[in-house]
Amino acid sequence: MKALSPDLRLARQPEMGSMAPGSEREQHLRELWESAPGWRGWLSTVDHKRIGLRYIVTAFFFLIAGGLEALVMRIQLARPDSHLLSPAQYDQIFTMHGITMIFLYALPVLSGFSNYLWPLILGARDMAFPRLNALSYWVFLFAGIFLYSSFPFGEAPNAGWFNYVPLANLEYSPGPNIDVYALGMILLGVSTTVGSVNFVVTLLRMRAPGMTINRLPILVWGTMTASVANLLVVPAVSLAFLMLWLDRQIGTHFFDVANAGRPMLWQHLFWMFGHPWVYVVVLPAMGIVSDALPTFCRRPLVGYSAVAISTVATMVIGFLVWIHHMFSTGIGLATLSFVGATSTIISIPSAVATFAWIATIWLGRPVYRVPFLFFSGFVLLFVIGGLSGVMTAAVPFDLQLTGTYFVVAHLHYVLLGINVFPVLGGIYYWFPKVTGKMTSEALGKLSFWISFVGFNVAFFPMHISGLLGMPRRMYTYPADMGWDTTNMITSIGSFVFALGILIFMVDIALSLRSGKTANINPWDAASLEWSLPSPPPPYNFAVVPTVASRYPLWEDRIEAGVHSSLDSGFLLDHGREALGTSSLKAEPSVILKMPSDSYAPFLLGLFSALLFIALLWHAWIFAGLMVAACAVSILIWLWPERLLIQREPQTVQDAGEHDE
């Protein structure tokens, strides 16, 4: 083992009574880590658990907004020659639906899970950069408000979530609609980037001793892979939106054909981001299933190493297939052949994970609780969405169907079904840990079956509409095209699916109010978070544990002689402290001094949003003031804190004697 920092305090065979809830030592830790009550704590907290819950709740509000937009569109398309919406209104609702579901719901809700769970399943006190974590949430929230604030003025983005030029150029879209989208996406990119940096560093430096790379939960593999991808692809789309905004505002010609610009450049930059983004919003969801499904099968995940490798391989290959979205743009046949091949190959690592889930169910003893239903339903949706994806990887097939509702069906299976069902299952699974209460099995199962049936009734017929030639992005259609029946079925299914989500929300609300009290580990799960009280204390672990296997709470059942030291380890109580470990072997190396709560992340996020509003309305003086306000916020953020007076190092035994 590497030499430890001189002030590392190692406690072995501790007397854990000194750390029991309500003891003097435990109360000291709580005072160090707990946020202030009321609005002050709400604005200044850097607690990863509170930030994670905010991400999930905010993302669900955007899911509801996007769902309502979808229902309005389905009413419009249920019957031919409908005029509930004008073409301009439909364009705005259609665009905002895509933006909401893809950017404001799908990734943020998974970021919420990872923010809440990562330190708990890694055996850490917090994320690596708590204030950066808070900033990522505030910027996400203000970016969403920025985008939606255009709705009341009738100036919402209106060129589709893909925002293709030249339609998005000033000549064809003269209003502020596209500027709102461009600036909003740049702001949202800031949130995604700082959040991804935080996840990567947390993985490298904030794991419990003994949690080596080959013992990481699959959720960590999924989020880590997505975060690395974000650091590579978000700059591409942010650059594209910045170039478009410059074209529209100061007369540059990046995408203007008349002045030697290149419209195809937009598609390349956008899909360099857009296709890896599909896996960004899927891989963490797959990680949720890989970690939680074995709990209900009463056995470890089959093929852990293969699933971990396939997670990374999926993203690596995903960087090679962005032209999959551009088969009909006139690109050369050699390029189309190469991308068609890689688009087919990418199904292999996905199939590895699928067979691992099926084998885990087949070789286990499934317990049919509500989370298990959502996870097993996800597997079926994953297969359907994956098969339609492989079909569109064939260039001749894609050339025929790329502009039809067949692709809309595929898109919803891989972005909605493969994301929403693991998320709902994950909420049911971790709800007892977060709240200390159980949900209703009856309502949960009702929610699953209505959602599952409604989802397939809504989106499977879209394949048929596409095969019948129904184009994408149309706001109405004639009565003699043969699309009436499939569109009506799709619209009915959409409302059934929405009913299932409504029942889920009712179940959560009732359970929060009057759910049965959950014990510390109601599912008999194996990972570290289930060793903590429900809900977890502000400091997470009173003593940082030492890990000896992938399944710390199942070791006595899996392998004799292996024992994780969950009740002994490093006692860190001289201020807000966390343990730093080595990147690969997770060997203890240093004590990290963690920052206290601060208003600076909120202020920086707020002033950044106001800066973008000033840029939208060309209020240059106000923009200058906001730049100065951002600089002051950063100064407040970085202002040195008063160092705590260090006591003599103590073991847990010493702490127990002191308490006595």
pLDDT, tens digit (0-9, with 9 covering 90-100), for 522-574: 999 999 999 999 999 999 998 888 888 899 889 877 776 666 666 667 788 88
> How many whole angstroms separate alpha carbon 200 and alpha carbon 203?
5
Enter the tokens of residue 67: 């769902």
How far is 353 from 528, CA to CA, in rounded Å? 23
Q: Which of 607, 602, 613, 648 is nearest to 630 (CA)?
A: 607
Using the predicted structure, report yes or no on whether residue 616 has a pLDDT greater than 90. Answer: yes
DSSP string, 417-465: IHHHHHHHHHHHHHHHHHHSBPPPHHHHHHHHHHHHHHHHHHHHHHHHH
Mean pLDDT across the stretch 307-320? 94
Cβ proximity of 614 and 626 under 8 Å: yes
- For residue 349, the number of C-alpha atoms closer than 13 Å in the C-beta half-sphere is 22
Measured CA to CA, the distance from residue 135 to residue 277 in angstroms comes to 22
Predicted pLDDT at 415 = 87
Residue pair 47/125 in contact by the 8 Å Cβ criterion? no
Phi, psi torsion values for 580, nearest 5 degrees: -100, 135
270: enclosing H helix or E strand: helix 263-280
pLDDT tens-digit series, residues 484-523: 999 999 999 999 999 999 999 999 999 999 999 999 999 9
User: Can you read off the two tokens belonging to residue 591?
Assistant: 């004590």
Residues 105, 55: Cα–Cα separation, whole Å: 9
Beta-carbon-side half-sphere exposure of residue 567 (alpha carbons within 13 Å)? 11
Instruction: Tell me the domain boundaries of the chain.
Output: 49-474+483-514, 604-642
Quote the percentage of the chain above a pLDDT of 90: 75
Mind listing the pLDDT tens digit for each residue in 145-156?
Answer: 999 999 888 899
Superfamily designation of domain 49-474+483-514: Cytochrome c oxidase-like, subunit I domain (1.20.210.10)
Helix (H, G, I), strand (E, B) or coil at 11: strand
Report CA dihedral (293, 299, 303, 304) to the nearest 10 degrees: 70
Q: Is the pLDDT of residue 646 over 80?
A: no
Structure tokens at 499: 């009913």
Question: Is cis: bond before 152, omega within 30 of 0?
Answer: no
State how far Cα 181 lies from the chain centre. Answer: 21
In the predicted structure, residue 653 carries a pLDDT above the cut 50: no
The CA-atom distances, in angstroms, between 100 and each of 64, 92, 104, 203, 405 are 10, 12, 5, 29, 20
**pLDDT-derived band at 1, boundaries 50, 70, 90:** very low
Q: Look at residue 567 in the predicted model and tell me its pLDDT.
A: 60
Residue 16: is its pLDDT beyond 90?
Answer: no
Q: Residue 235: is the preceding peptide bond cis (ω within 30°)?
A: no
C-alpha pair distances (Å), 517 with each of 20, 49, 355, 442, 646: 20, 20, 36, 17, 40
Residue 83, C-beta contacts closer than 8 angstroms, at least 6 positions apart:
476
409 pLDDT higher than 80: yes
Phi/psi region, residue 524 (left: phi>0; alpha: psi -120 to 50; beta: rest), is: left
Q: What does the pLDDT read at residue 294?
A: 96
Question: Which of 63-77, 327-341, 440-454 bottoms out in mean pLDDT, i.e. has the lowest?
Answer: 327-341
Q: Name the residue type at position 90.
A: Y
User: Nearest 5°: phi and psi at 528?
Assistant: -60, -35
In the structure encoding, which two tokens stand for residue 18, read together? 């000194």
Check pLDDT > 60 for residue 296. Answer: yes
Report the largest interatomic distance among the alpha carbons of the chain, rounded to a whole angstrom.
Answer: 85
- With contact defined as beta carbons under 8 Å apart, do 9 and 649 qualify? yes
Helices 370-392 and 441-467: crossing angle in degrees, nearest 10, is 10
Q: Are 173 and 255 in contact (CB under 8 A)?
A: no
- SS3 for 85? coil
Q: Determine the residue type at 145.
A: I
Tell me the C-alpha distance between 4 and 442, whole Å.
52
Mean pLDDT, to the nearest integer, of 380-408? 91
**Helices marked H in 517-599 — which ranges?**
555-558
User: CA-based angle 256:259:262, to the nearest 5?
Assistant: 45
Per-chain mean pLDDT for the chain? 90
How far apart (Å, rounded) are the C-alpha atoms in residues 478 and 617? Answer: 41
Angle at which helix 177-205 crosses helix 87-99, to 10 degrees, equals 10
What's the mean pLDDT in 40-44?
94
Q: Are strands 565-570 and 10-11 parallel, antiparallel or unpaired?
A: antiparallel
Model confidence at 158: pLDDT above 90: yes
Q: If pLDDT is split at 50, 70 and 90, which confidence band does 654 have?
A: very low
DSSP 404: B
Nearest by Cα to 207 from 581, 566, 565: 581
Average of pLDDT values for 603-615? 97
Predicted confidence band of residue 181 (pLDDT cuts 50, 70, 90): very high
Whole-number pLDDT of residue 389: 87
What is the structure's pLDDT at 647?
Answer: 40
Please state the rounded mean pLDDT for residues 439-457: 97
